[in-house]
Structure 1
Amino acid sequence: MKTHDVRVWMVDTTLRDGEQAPGVFFRPLEKLTIASRLAECGVDEIEVGIPAMGEFACREIESIARLNLPSMLTCWCRAVKKDIELAIGCNTPGVHISFPTSSILLKTFEKNEAWVLETLDDTVRFARHYFDQVSVGAQDATRTDMDFLLRFCREAIGLGVHRVRLADTVGMITPSALMDMIETLLIRLPGLALEFHGHNDLGMATANAVSAVDAGAKAISVTVNGLGERAGNAPLEETAMALFGIGAKKSNMRLSELARLCNTVARFSGHQIHATKPIVGSRIFSHESGIHCAGLLKDTRSYELYDPEQVGRSTPRQMILGVHSGSAAIKHALAHRNIDIDADTAQRLLPQVRAAAAAGNKPVTPKLLESIYYKAFC
């Protein structure tokens, strides 16, 4: 398959796995808003919650279902029939059933491989009577014995599941190892539809998500701003830009809605977006280096991968005047204050601008720059 023909199904789990971040709790109205923003952003599937959390969780899921959003809505369930029964009452068209598959998790939950396969059969057969889409997940798939993972996936295919989710539950896998795993599964089980769910414990969740698609995964599970347990999950905004904004994959994503979506989730979660956070950080379109600023004034593509507008950023790029600035930035900044100077004058101002920035240990403001100019030449 050619790269540009690849269609990636985006699954967002901010309202489920994202809310599992310590201290995060979304109020009912906030959940409705987040779900609506996700749909506006073009997310294909929204994992809206865990019915087993109780009656309040079921009511919230039902409220989201009543919005009739264009995105597929899915409940997350443990491999327990009672969980699935609760999900049926939530009126979502999809359900995801999660199974522990690694030896360490099976030991933790006092289960074994036979239990997994027997329960897989029982729960999927039951769920398929009530849901349009049934997906299953292999928890800790990246630490699961390959022979058992193959058997799990083969049984799932036979039961007619829509996808199998491979979860890198502790964020331990590398992109190359993940690609090997996915390619092995797809070679042995042609037609298997895989989804990847990556955690960010080693800072590789985005790279792993992109690599999963390159290896043949059909779907990616993400959260807005990477919100989630421990170091979080693969961030929706980073993965989407890497796959669709810069890469050649196809999706329903509207990248121009990313900034609004990310800011909304940051506000509701209480987790501020770091200033240098990829895609949505407040300072990622700020430049000080003289070489960079000179290049950007000629062609923004010289030192920026994409335009701020592409991801819905309303704040324009900024050229900061500091100790690393060059004469081109000074000339540009003064022009914005209706002061036109030549290159020689800008070069003569440069030492004074750098000295002022160093003395104050902060950038030189346009007003201060104008003052420095008038003192030097007027």
Structure 2
Amino acid sequence: MTDLCDVTIRESEQLPGRSYDLEAKREAGRALDDLGVAFVQVGFPITGKTDRRAVATLADELEADIVAIARTLDRDVDAAIESGADVIEVFAPLSTRHLETTLDTDRETAFDRMRRAVDRAAASGATVHLSIMDAFRTADEHVDRAIDRFEDVAVVTLADTVGAMAPLALEQRLGALVDSGVDPDRLGVHLHDDLGVATANALVAARHDVGRLDVSVASLGERAGNPALEEVAIHCDREGYAELGLETAELVPRCEDVLAALEEPVDERKAVLGRDVFEHESGLHTAAMLRDPSTFEPFDPETYGGERSLVFGAGSGSGAARALLEAAGVEATDARVETILSALEREGPVDLEGALELARDEQ
């Protein structure tokens, strides 16, 4: 079983010009809860009142465990504790680049700070997760040491902070960890899409049975975003990579609810959620799909709460016209094919029901 941690609410607010009020976060959280995600990462309590209220409110209202993040600073951890989060996720880097540039400290000091923060969070009774920033540009020995040193932490998440990881390299790294005796249930991955492979990387992690997988609706997140929840969910469901515990029949409508709550648009060509993805107008496509929809679709969108749309008009060919007449129970003579093509050119574009009505008129 792999638990999804949805980071849409926190990550998408990192995009330029974004700021969500409490009600928007509540609505988005409820939609994610209805979908069945295990964790919802809501915010960074030290940053202000809005995040603290959002964490507290959703922790009280949702079945999902609410995650608040904190640096290895006492005030960050205390703010997360006071917010009432179910999970406090302490994050810190171990890569030389980040230690020198972000923290201006050495690795041993970083380890000591991580230990103090983890112990402080755990003393509150909250579940503690640890996230290692820039983990895949950190020497393996330091990451391995962190996993061993923090065996009391429920999940250690390896963050590909700049989206530099490739699927094959991730396959090798996770495989090496598991082969060395690390329980994959204790591992998580946080991925970014800067090189366009976040979903592919997430599926690699799912196949290795990682305990936690961070995702976001429509890939919303800073820069190029994170693995798309809807893409990961469908691949895992169809290919059996991992059991995610989702209400898959509600996938599309609940993701749409999240986008509506946050007033976030989605590109018309975005996989799974885009309007154009299951809209077909080509005569070749519509003709075939009237007989067998799977001809030009990788899956039935209705399985996940979506719907397809067939459009007919001037571009519909004789094959589509014949298929329409057959679907309407009308003999597809050459004369009727020409008549329906003229009607489609005159009346179109029309949806399937409109096209079938035109075909029935030929009886």
TM-score w.r.t. length of structure 2: 0.88
Structural mapping, 1:75-154, within 5 Å: 75-109=68-102, 110-154=104-148
TM-superposition CA deviations, 1:288-323 (whole Å, max 9, x none) = 34443333223222322222222212x443144454
Residue in 2 aligned with 1:3? Answer: none
Shift in CA distance, 215/250, structure 1 to aligned 2, threshold 3 Å: closer
State the AA in 1 paired with 2:31: R
CA distance in 2, matches of 1:327, 1:139: 58
State the AA in 2 paired with 1:22: P
CA distance in 2, matches of 1:127, 1:254: 32
Residue in 1 aligned with 2:309? Answer: 317
Q: SS at 1:16's partner residue? A: helix
TM-score w.r.t. length of structure 1: 0.85
Q: SS at 1:95's partner residue? A: strand
Shift in CA distance, 322/229, structure 1 to aligned 2, threshold 3 Å: farther
**1:342 alignment partner, one of 310, 318, 332:** 332
Residue in 1 aligned with 2:258? Answer: 265
The structural deviation recorded for 1:9 is 0.7
**1:163 alignment partner, one of 155, 162, 166:** 155
* Higher mean displacement: 81-90 or 281-290: 281-290
Structure 2 contact 163–195 (Cα < 8 Å) conserved: yes
TM-superposition CA deviations, 1:242-278 (whole Å, max 9, x none) = 1124435212111222222222332343431111211
State the AA in 1 paired with 2:40: I
State the AA in 2 paired with 1:105: H
Q: SS at 2:9's partner residue? A: coil
- Alignment of 1:212 onto 2:202: no
State the AA in 2 paired with 1:138: I
CA distance in 2, matches of 1:246, 1:82: 44
The structural deviation recorded for 1:37 is 0.8
Q: SS at 1:250's partner residue? A: coil
CA distance in 1, matches of 2:274, 2:202: 21
**2:293 alignment partner, one of 281, 296, 300:** 300
| Structural RMSD (CA) | 3.0
CA distance in 1, matches of 2:331, 2:35: 45
State the AA in 1 paired with 2:178: L
Q: SS at 1:253's partner residue? A: coil
Structure 1 unaligned regions, length at least 5? 1-6
CA distance in 1, matches of 2:197, 2:274: 19
The structural deviation recorded for 1:55 is 2.7
Structure 1 contact 308–317 (Cα < 8 Å) conserved: no
CA distance in 2, matches of 1:156, 1:226: 30
Residue in 1 aligned with 2:31? Answer: 37
TM-superposition CA deviations, 1:48-67 (whole Å, max 9, x none) = 21111123321221111221
Identity of aligned residues (%): 28
Shift in CA distance, 368/104, structure 1 to aligned 2, threshold 3 Å: same
Residue in 1 aligned with 2:169? Answer: 177
The structural deviation recorded for 1:282 is 1.1
Structure 2 unaligned regions, length at least 5? none
CA distance in 1, matches of 2:192, 2:165: 9
Structure 2 contact 59–84 (Cα < 8 Å) conserved: yes
Residue in 2 aligned with 1:4? Answer: none
Q: SS at 1:249's partner residue? A: coil
Structural mapping, 1:61-72, within 5 Å: 61-67=55-61, 69-72=62-65
Q: SS at 1:17's partner residue? A: helix
